[in-house]
Amino acid sequence: MNSLNSTLYLNTTFVRPPFFFITGFHNMRHAKYCYVFLCFVFVVSLLANSFVMFIIYTERSFHTPKYLAIFNLVVAGLGESTALIPNVIALFLFDSQYISFDACLANMFFVFLFASLQSLTLTLMAYDRLVAICLPLRYHAVITMQAMAVILTVVWAYDSVLLILMVSLITRLSFCKSIVVKSYFCQLYSLACNDNFINHVISRLNVTLFVYIPFILIVLSYIFIAGAVFKIASWEGRFKAIKTCSAHLMLVSLHYLPVIGTRIMSLTSTLKSDASIMILSIVKAITPMMNPIIYVLNTEEVRVFSKKLLKNKKKLQQK
């Protein structure tokens, strides 16, 4: 590893290396089991997300603002899985941790793009539940297909512009200290040997905008939702209101809590670097896989439509 770093010199004014070395799970104990697990998760994620996208697209009753947001969440989850897991598996299969400079930038952009989209979409879905429970009589007037399409377009544009800015600023850095990326995907600005203050600020800004603020907004939404639920007189009405939020709450917990928990433990030095990489990679892989599974299991109309498809398939096979 030191020989890789020694190929770049500190007295060089500007260095753009032709490749980086992704350590990932390199020399990590039991890494092969993690690769096998990630491969399994990717296949399940691909099939499950594709299935949910198919039923939302083909069934007209699902052409509603709520399911448009779910469709966007599924696309984001599938995009993150595709941007992240195949690269990690390729490192294992071909026993080569090298990745070109341009490919590294592309990998970083798409991983962050789709992860951020999931976070923003979960926030949008919390807003949907907030209006549905706190303003039920105005729901169809406030949450329309046109409004949802506009909001999602703004979300994609907002996310893309900020991440294009983040990635483009990487090109102003000189990498003369190290070409070793101690992660399972490309994260580069900390390796720079020239002034990376702007990159550091943009990175922290993105974490705040795409992780902390969405999480705070979701928590605030559920505080208002809880207040509205307690005002419902009957226990049956309360249970029904809570049930409509159960799938979203599970997704929020799955998406945010492991990431925030791992980050806190890393800051307090109670978690080793290898353990942090392993946990984050597994969480990042599992979350997109669980998105469609949770909605299929917890949404009655999706379950009914899925059963209908299976029955039609059996009838066709019998014929």
Q: Which of 131, 186, 182 is nearest to 163 (CA)?
A: 186
Pick the range with the lowest mean pLDDT from 56-65, 125-134, 145-154: 56-65
- 276 token code pair: 């942090």
Residue 130: how many CA atoms within 13 Å on its side-chain side? 15
Q: What is the pLDDT of residue 262?
A: 67
Q: Does residue 269 sit in helix, strand or coil?
A: coil
Q: Which of 76, 24, 69 is nearest to 45 (CA)?
A: 76
Reported as a single tens digit per residue, the pLDDT across 281-298 is: 777 788 888 888 887 777
Q: What is the pLDDT of residue 10?
A: 43
Confidence of residue 275 (pLDDT cuts 50, 70, 90): low
Query: What distances in angstroms separate CA 283 from CA 14, 34, 111, 116, 223, one per listed residue?
Result: 36, 12, 14, 15, 26
- The topology under which CATH files domain 5-9+17-305 is Rhopdopsin 7-helix transmembrane proteins (1.20.1070)
Residue 27 identity (one-letter amino acid) = N
Confidence of residue 255 (pLDDT cuts 50, 70, 90): confident
Residue 232: how many CA atoms within 13 Å on its side-chain side? 17
Residue 75 scores a pLDDT above 80 = yes
Q: pTM here?
A: 0.86
d(Cα 98, Cα 23) in Å, to the nearest integer? Answer: 9
Residue 252: how many CA atoms within 13 Å on its side-chain side? 23
Sheet of 19-22, strand order: 98-100, 19-22, 180-181
Q: What is the pLDDT of residue 9?
A: 44
Q: What is the pLDDT of residue 274?
A: 62
Q: What is the pLDDT of residue 37?
A: 84
Q: Say if CB 286 and CB 42 are below 8 A apart.
A: no
Reported as a single tens digit per residue, the pLDDT across 162-212 is: 999 998 888 888 888 778 887 777 877 777 787 778 888 888 898 899 988
Per-domain residue ranges for the chain? 5-9+17-305
Q: What is the pLDDT of residue 269?
A: 58
Q: Say if CB 120 and CB 155 are below 8 A apart.
A: yes
Q: What is the pLDDT of residue 316?
A: 65
Q: What is the pLDDT of residue 149?
A: 95
